[in-house]
Amino acid sequence: MATVELKSIRKTYTSEEIIKGVDLSIESKEFVVFVGPSGCGKSTLLRMIAGLEDISSGDLLIDGRRVNDLAPAERGLAMVFQSYALYPHMNVYQNMEFGLKLAKTPEAERREKIMAVARTLQLENYLKHKPGQLSGGQRQRVAIGRAIVRNPKVFLFDEPLSNLDASLRGQMRVELATLHRRLGATTIYVTHDQIEAMTMADKIVVLQKGIVEQVGSPLELYDCPRNLFVAKFIGSPPMNFLPGTVIAASEEQARVRLASGQEIVVVAGGAQGLIGAAVTLGVRPEHVRLGHAVENRGSGQVELVEYLGSAAHLHVRMQDGALLVIQTEGGVRVHADDAVTFSFPAERCHLFNSEGVALHRRSSGRMAA
């Protein structure tokens, strides 16, 4: 399989820069997900790797070889499009055969490859069907089959699940992850859905406005978001943000006074220089603990409870008017208008300076809880 390397890749459309210098290296067999809000440039970046868009400056290396000026077909890639882009006048077999035919693969070999792929994807009974006669999930599989059959070095997926309904999307997510494990092909996957990113990726690349905000494993991004944008984007329901001021700091900890006057101790390094400065405290809904505590306490009134069965989301209005979402186990007996107290575990809180950059904790990676 293949490695992919991007070296200060830029894309400029008539004076406007869409991709502002992306550096990234993708290991062999890695499943990389580009994630970000719409218009962040993730699809453009993928299309540049595919060769469908010109690279304005920078180098794109596949297996160590510069491929900027190679035609899409010569780069050894296969792409699955959002609309699947199946050829409507060809049946399933012909759809998968088209690329092989153009590559002048002998007929017997073509048949063998297509049958093998059809078996893998359970498409054997549909080979004579036209795309118009297939369901969304089946079309998706044909599109994947058309990509696999050419045995590419790198797979590219452009929001492949966004046209499917929710239950089918969950099912295809599992199928894609399984398929990736079986084929072991380097894969680049673009999505705006952070759940797809979290569940499938070996490595997530968070993009915003043409800039890479953070690269890391799903858990790294979840535990140590580098800035407010990543913190907001990764995790569902999203992280709570509370404004405050640093009143004391040591090497490993900082004491923050919130707008409500409560003082919270946070594990965060390098806050000594920020005493007196405005900061943002971030805490995930699932990390806020309901009940009395000695330290890092907070209280408020429940405005709304969302019961999800396995969990419940409490929307709590704090005394200073800030809204906080708390996730608890599903069986909790709290109702709207109840007064609740809760606490913020110091090692689970995140601190962001006025520019939105996270203050790094001394030990990165998952905290011992």
Closest contact distance (angstroms) between CB of 62 and another protein is 14
Q: For another protein, which residue of 98, 120, 209, 293 counts as binding (CB under 8 A)?
A: 98
**End-to-end distance of the chain based on CA atoms, in angstroms?**
38
CA atoms within 13 A on the CB side of 254: 31
Q: Residue 195: helix, strand or coil by DSSP?
A: helix
Alpha carbon 247 to chain centroid distance? Answer: 35
User: Within 10 A of 356 (CB to CB), how many other CB atoms are there?
Assistant: 15
Based on the shown chain and the rule CB under 8 A, indicate whether residue 357 belongs to the binding site for another protein: no
Q: For another protein, which residue of 10, 20, 130, 232 counts as binding (CB under 8 A)?
A: 130
Q: For another protein, which residue of 21, 72, 170, 237 counts as binding (CB under 8 A)?
A: 72
Based on the shown chain and the rule CB under 8 A, indicate whether residue 164 belongs to the binding site for another protein: no
Closest contact distance (angstroms) between CB of 72 and another protein is 5
Closest contact distance (angstroms) between CB of 2 and another protein is 16
What is the amino acid identity at position 337?
D
Q: Which stretch binds another protein (CB under 8 A): 11-19, 87-95, 134-142, 188-196?
A: 87-95
Q: Which stretch binds another protein (CB under 8 A): 34-42, 69-77, 235-243, 345-353?
A: 69-77
Based on the shown chain and the rule CB under 8 A, indicate whether residue 99 belongs to the binding site for another protein: yes
Question: Do residues 358 and 224 touch, judged by C-beta distance below 8 A?
Answer: yes
Closest contact distance (angstroms) between CB of 130 and another protein is 7
Q: Which residue in the block uniquely carries the two structure tokens 């900082």?
A: 254
Q: For another protein, which residue of 18, 45, 60, 77 counts as binding (CB under 8 A)?
A: 77
Based on the shown chain and the rule CB under 8 A, indicate whether residue 81 belongs to the binding site for another protein: yes
The smaller minimum CB distance to another protein, of residues 77 and 231, is found at 77
With 0-12 / 13-18 / 19 or more C-beta atoms within 10 angstroms meaning exposed / middle / buried, residue 90 is middle
Closest contact distance (angstroms) between CB of 314 and another protein is 44
Q: What's the CA gap between 83 and 73, in Å, rounded?
A: 20
What is the amino acid identity at position 55?
I
Based on the shown chain and the rule CB under 8 A, indicate whether residue 241 belongs to the binding site for another protein: no
Q: Residue 73: helix, strand or coil by DSSP?
A: helix
Binding mask 102-121 for another protein (x = CB under 8 A): xx------------------
Based on the shown chain and the rule CB under 8 A, indicate whether residue 78 belongs to the binding site for another protein: yes
Q: Residue 151: helix, strand or coil by DSSP?
A: coil
Q: What's the CA gap between 335 and 364, in Å, rounded?
A: 38
Residue count (the chain): 369
Q: Which residue in the block uniquely carries the two structure tokens 């199928």?
A: 175
**Chain residues that interact with another protein, rule: CB under 8 A:** 50-52, 71-73, 77-79, 81-83, 85-89, 98-99, 102-103, 130, 132, 146, 150
